[in-house]
């Protein structure tokens, strides 16, 4: 009977340890970013997919950022159709949505390329390209809010845009941090 209990405890510990090590890995990784709490909230649902792999962490962060970026674009488009906005706000929002679209495209390319990257002579070149695309996506997010910087743009739309775009910019920053970390090896 003692061996059966011991075997059961070993199986139980094997089942629990990967989850615990995944959680610790994500926690430590997120704590190295500028936005650790947001990082952990967004990526903890993917603990089993990420495991303890820096590569899978970077890929998953890119995927989560792309998903949030696309969702933000849909939300802002819906907002513009369901709320009365001025002509000036409409123009600023149109420009912002173009920037968000560019950001989504750059994140998509980054994800595709991350899936292809392998160690070897082109590794650093490919990782530099991915870092550049993610940085460009982050810049696009920042540029999106520029059209709302005028004093005449102090309204509900400005607040909605800033809140949502700031969220995806923070996610892009987190993803870039993990891409940079993976590139360092």
Instruction: Write out pLDDT tens, residues 86-132.
Output: 899 999 999 999 999 999 999 999 999 998 888 888 899 999 999 99
What is the reported pLDDT for 12?
Answer: 46
What is the reported pLDDT for 122?
Answer: 87
pTM metric for this prediction: 0.87
Burial of 99 (0-12, 13-18, 19+ CB in 10 A): buried
For 2-184, give the CATH class: mainly alpha
pLDDT tens by residue, the chain, 185 residues: 455 554 444 444 445 555 588 889 999 999 999 999 999 999 999 999 999 999 999 999 999 999 999 999 999 999 999 999 989 999 999 999 999 999 999 999 999 999 888 888 889 999 999 999 999 999 999 999 888 888 777 789 999 999 999 999 999 999 999 999 999 97
- The CA–CA distances, whole Å, from 174 to 20, 30, 76, 88, 131 equal 22, 8, 22, 32, 12
What is the reported pLDDT for 30?
Answer: 95
Q: Report yes or no: 83 and 156 within 8 Å, Cβ to Cβ.
A: yes
The most distant pair of C-alpha atoms in the chain lies apart, rounded to whole Å, by 78
DSSP E strands in 113-178: the ranges are none
Nearest-angstrom CA–CA distance, 51 and 49: 6
| Domain regions of the chain by residue span | 2-184
What is the reported pLDDT for 2?
Answer: 52
What is the reported pLDDT for 15?
Answer: 53
Tokens of 118: 């392998």
Nearest-angstrom CA–CA distance, 46 and 68: 15
What is the reported pLDDT for 19?
Answer: 57
At 53, phi and psi to the nearest 5? -100, 120
């Amino acid at each position: 009977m003692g061996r059966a209990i011991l075997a059961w405890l070993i199986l139980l510990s094997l089942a629990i340890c990967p989850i615990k090590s995944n959680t610790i890995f994500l926690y430590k990784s997120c704590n190295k970013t500028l936005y650790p709490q947001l990082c952990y909230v967004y990526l903890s649902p993917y603990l089993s997919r990420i495991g303890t792999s820096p590569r899978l962490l970077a890929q998953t962060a890119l995927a989560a950022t792309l998903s949030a970026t696309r969702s933000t674009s849909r939300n802002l488009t819906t907002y513009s159709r369901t709320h009365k906005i001025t002509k000036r706000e409409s123009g600023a929002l149109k420009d912002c949505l173009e920037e968000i679209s560019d950001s989504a495209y750059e994140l998509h390319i980054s994800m595709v390329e991350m899936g292809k990257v392998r160690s070897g002579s082109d590794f650093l070149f490919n990782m530099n390209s991915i870092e550049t695309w993610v940085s460009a996506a982050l810049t696009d997010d920042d540029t999106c809010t520029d059209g709302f910087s005028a004093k005449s743009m102090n309204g509900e739309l400005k607040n909605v845009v800033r809140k949502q775009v700031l969220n995806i910019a923070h996610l892009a920053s987190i993803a870039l941090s993990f891409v940079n970390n993976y590139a360092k090896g």
